[in-house]
Amino acid sequence: MLNAMAVPIGLFDQARQNGYAFNQAPEPDLAASLALFDPVNIWAGFQQLTHLQQRQKAKAALIGRVLKRRLSRIRSLVHRKKSK
């Protein structure tokens, strides 16, 4: 729902000229609806998702290595201090 205070009035006029009626829902686009179920689009979306998951896993592994290194450093410093 559009907030009339947040949108300049000219945008409403422009939208009406383009055939958009604010009191009616737009007609569903059959081609766009069918494209959602196209196997090529589904496979591309799955590949993109797995790519993002792989990047997230790699980032988490990097953070884990850094934290492990820092913890090891802290432990060695504490051990040195105790041994003195």
What CA–CA distances, in Å, run from 20 to 7, 15, 25, 38, 62? 15, 6, 9, 28, 50
The domain segmentation of the chain, as residue ranges, is 52-84
- pLDDT digits (tens), the chain, 84 positions: 455 555 556 666 677 676 655 566 666 677 777 777 778 878 888 888 888 889 999 999 999 999 999 999 999 999 888 776
Element containing residue 57 per DSSP (H, E)? helix 39-83
Per-residue pLDDT at 35: 73
Per-residue pLDDT at 58: 92
